[in-house]
Amino acid sequence: MSARSNSFNLLAAATALAIAAASGSAFAAGRVDLSSLNVDGSQQFGRFLVKYRSGSAPRGDVASFNKAIAGAASATSSRLGGGNRAVQLKRLRRTASGADVVLSNRALSRDEAAALMRQLAADPAVESVSNDIRMVPYFTPNDTNFSQQFGFGTGNGGIRATTAWDVTKGAGTVVAVIDTGITNHSDLNANVIAGYDFISGDPAGEGLPPGGFFVANDGDGRDANPADPGDWFVNDQCGPQSGSSNSSWHGTHVAGTVAAVTNNAKGVAGTAHAAKLVPVRVLGKCGGYGSDISDAIIWASGGTVPGVPANPNPADVINMSLGSRSPTECPQIYKDAIVGAAARGTIVVVAAGNSDRDALTATNTAGQVLGYTMTNCGTVISVGSVTSTGARSSFSNYGAGVDVAAPGSNILSTYNSGTQAPGAEAYASNSGTSMAAPHVAGVAALVQSVAPTPLTQEQMRTLLKNTARAFPVSPGTKPIGAGIVNAAAAVAAVQGTNPGAQTYSNGTDANIPDNNTTGVSTSITVSGRTGNAPSNAQVAVSIVHTYQGDLIVDLIAPDGSVYNLHSRTGAGTDNINQTYTVNLSSEALNGTWKLRASDRDAQDTGRIDSWSITF
């Protein structure tokens, strides 16, 4: 059952293609997307998206379509010299967007693929041609397990979910996890409802590139079984120099962060643990194709996909912890799927990526400014990653395209013990923006479960940004959004209530100049609150110094008002570790608060170690 009627939510996934034909080409400029051959590190190609114009014979008739692509293949073969370089094409299926997936009989080099794409686009009936790009999970494995989930709490890196749970646990909402599928797990099963496996390939060529590209790995095509059979691969199985990897169980880990069964005396908790999970499988060995992902977005949000039964549980929120492995433009087929999902009432949450680059302005190998799909798909809510201290995770993509941040380093969640095929259920800690995004998807479900009227995509983005908690450690020149998502504040805001006292911290050391009246200040920024501070605000101060009597310590309000906390008392006592009660009832909560410490005598020195304000 969904929190909104006839509207459900799915996170957008897109693989990227930059629509840029070679200048001066004799073929239809703008219809062939050659840049889509440069985005995922592949050296071999064999799966393409060909869209014929509405009203054309190939668009309406399979026989005409097959004849058209056979002609293009024959012409390309002639240009390549024939023989073992001959190319044959086979139609696999039509996507929900109207493009057809076309497979070649052999792996093509980049130059061969470009020649074929140009030949296909030479037909005036063709609207667009692109490489069917593969997406990959956005996570970094980490074998270290932690005994607690810092991400849900009130510490520097936490999202304050424990406070929000006093109000809602997400009951009545549905979250679709578009990922590798899901494994059997006693800490998930009670919250999992019907999903779908969208991975398609050529049954005759499954396991052989390029038709299947080793992706499906379950021995069949699309079906109603989203179980994860494992996505391990051996050396060079995903292309030259692709290395090898054990199964990731990525979808199982992501699903646990969203909605693991909670308060059951075992395992882990989930962000929205009363929500239901719809597993949607699009990633297998070597990743997943955009043609499958775009269909999955449409289906999960309640749209229609040819040949696939309707989704009985359209999602209120969709999580997509996947994206392009390198900079690429978000193509129209994916933008359309995402916009359609939002129009059906979906909230689309995506991982920002793990390349430590600007998610909107990173350039590809050709120097084109493209950014990373899916952050660059426009209407999505993009999530960066923070550590347990609230600092930006070193791997997290950043920039103006990132909306908010959430915990993504060393996140403990549900897992599986198998190295290839599924084994026993397990728990493990992983890192990546893949782990950050499901925290935000879970918070969106909490919000929708109590919203008087379900929020739209843009309303949700605005709410999450406005109620985000200031970073306790500044991300500096690599911004990752408005702050750390704050479940308690977001839930309170949508209800029109006060979230109660919250603690804001700064743990960055600041050396205090010796014998200097100016001193040093460190700041905390508060946002997403309403009204004034209370008359009993708590200011906790930790200063390391060898002579208290040298120090003057002040709290400075956003409007510049000064509240003295310590004024040269304590004589030769070391350090200040004290909590002060301050009447701040005349001060607005929102704004930048500062702690200033000055040393008014020579010799003894020290530093501001940390401080916090609770109101």
The catalytic residue positions are: 179, 250, 434
Q: What is the total residue count of the chain?
A: 615
Strands (E), 330-420: 347-351, 381-386, 404-407, 411-416
Cα separation, 80 vs 77, whole angstroms? 5
Alpha-helical segments (H) within 230-309: 250-259, 290-300
Cα separation, 574 vs 519, whole angstroms? 18
Cα separation, 471 vs 177, whole angstroms? 28
Q: Are 358 and 398 in contact (CB under 8 A)?
A: yes
- Record the tokens describing residue 465, joined without a space: 């940004």
DSSP-assigned states of every residue in 35-56: GGGSSS--S-EEEEEEEEPTTS
Residue 571: φ, ψ to 5°: 50, -125
Spatial neighbors of 254 by CB under 8 A, at least 6 apart, are 177, 179, 319, 321, 413, 434, 435, 437, 438
Residue among 167, 351, 325, 373 at smallest CA distance from 257? 351
Cα separation, 338 vs 12, whole angstroms? 5
